[in-house]
Chain A
Amino acid sequence: MRWIWIDRFLAFESKKSARALKNLSLAEDYFADHFPGYPVMPAALILEGLAQTGGILVGEANDYQEKVVLAKIPSAQFYTDALAGEVLIYDVEILNLRAEGASVQGKVTSAGRVVAEAEIFFAHLDRSRSKQLFGDHNFVFSGELKHLLGLAKVAAQPRGAG
């Protein structure tokens, strides 16, 4: 299953902030059931997109060496529905970043309208423990996510460079 809830990065400033975009297409499976005749994006998936934007920002800060996992969402508010055809903009800013983990403040907008806001907390899995459990493979930043990371790097470059 594909589990990528952002389409591309619009801006990326290492250790500070990131902005990503998500197009809501009526062709996406979940709209068929959520809900028939009223295609609204599930709030949990909006949060997932925000967490992926923040998780990549936090992962990049340590050159993707840490296994960054979503640990908790201390607060989240949803203000309005996001319907098929809308374009969501995910903005995240790092609040705290240290060896054990990080927290970010995120905001989701659609055409300038605030859809949701949340604080998201990430933990770095303990290195020795996760090595015992999962080996050297970084299962967080792999496959499809790595492709997105490449796109994040492109977005991070100053305009006109490279």
Chain B
Amino acid sequence: MPTQEEIYTKVSATLVEALNVDEEEIQPTSTLQGDLGAESIDFLDIVFRLEREFAIKIPRGELFPESIFQGDPDFVQNGRVTDKGLAELRQRMPFADLSKFQSNPEVGHISDLFTVELITNYIKGKLATSNN
């Protein structure tokens, strides 16, 4: 089982290839869209590369859920994610750190959850499950 550090290094290398960014630009807290300029099509490219790099299967929507709430009023009201929505996020993305997001849960900030650290945590969880 690789260490967090080893996983992070590989994740960074994957992002360098997929997003054509310099390694120095990548920090654990870098957001994929805001900081690293990822576009929607890049997410599938990242998934492909992670699958190859770590020899894992990433089912559709597991790492990057597509339009999580679909405008469901139970989950989003007045542009903010409701408590029910937060619970849904927690369930769908147990590997995400929601502590900062839930203090100001604007829908527009969801993309900021997708950081290099989030991918590293996801991979770590995935490798731990596959080794059991």
Q: What residues of chain A have their CB less than 8 Å away from a CB belonging to chain B?
A: 71-72, 74-75, 95-96, 98-101, 103, 121, 123
Contact between chains at A103 and B41 (CB < 8 Å): no
Q: How far is the CA of A35 from the CA of B20 in the complex (A)?
A: 31
Which one, B26-34, B43-51, B77-85, is touching chain A?
A: B43-51
- Asked whether A72 lies within 8 Å of B41 as measured between CB atoms, the reply is yes
Interface string of B44-88 (1 = CB under 8 A from A): 110010011000000010000000000000000000000000000
- CB–CB A72/B45 < 8 A: yes
- Determine whether the beta carbon of B45 is less than 8 Å from that of A121: yes
How far, in Å, is A71 (CB) from chain B's closest CB?
4
Contact of A123 among B17, B44, B51, B52 (CB under 8 A): B44
Q: How far is the CA of A72 from the CA of B52 in the complex (A)?
A: 18
* 14 A-B residue pairings within 8 Å (CB atoms): A71-B41, A72-B45, A74-B17, A74-B45, A75-B17, A95-B52, A96-B48, A96-B51, A98-B60, A99-B60, A103-B45, A103-B48, A121-B41, A121-B45
Counting chain B CB atoms within 10 Å of each CB, which of A75, A98, A123 scores highest?
A98
Tell me how far the C-beta of B48 lies from the nearest C-beta in chain A, rounded to whole angstroms: 4
**What are the interface flags for B11-37 relative to A under an 8 Å C-beta threshold, 1 for contact and 0 otherwise?**
000000110100000000000000000
Query: Which residues of A sit under 8 angstroms from B48, Cβ to Cβ?
Result: 95-96, 103
Known pairs A95-B48, A123-B41 / 6 extra A-B pairs, C-beta < 8 Å: A72-B41, A72-B42, A74-B17, A74-B18, A74-B20, A103-B48
Q: What residues of chain A lie closer than 8 Å to B42, measured between beta carbons?
A: 72
B36–chain A nearest beta-carbon distance, Å: 14
List residues of chain A with CB within 8 A of the CB of B41.
71-72, 101, 121, 123
Contact, CB under 8 Å: B44 / A101: yes
Complex-state Cα separation, A29 to B113, whole angstroms: 50
Chain B: minimal CB distance from A53 (Å): 19
Q: Give the complex CA separation of A120 and B42 in angstroms.
A: 12
Across the interface, which residues of B come within 8 angstroms of A121, CB to CB?
41, 44-45
Residue from the list A71, A72, A95, A100 in contact with B60, Cβ < 8 A: A100
A95 nearest CB neighbor, chain B only: B48
Chain B residues in 8 Å Cβ range of A71: 41, 44
How far, in Å, is B104 (CB) from chain A's closest CB? 31
Residues of B within 8 A of A123 (CB): 41, 44
* Residues of chain A lying within 8 A (CB to CB) of residue B52: 95-96
- A87 CB to closest chain B CB (Å) equals 32
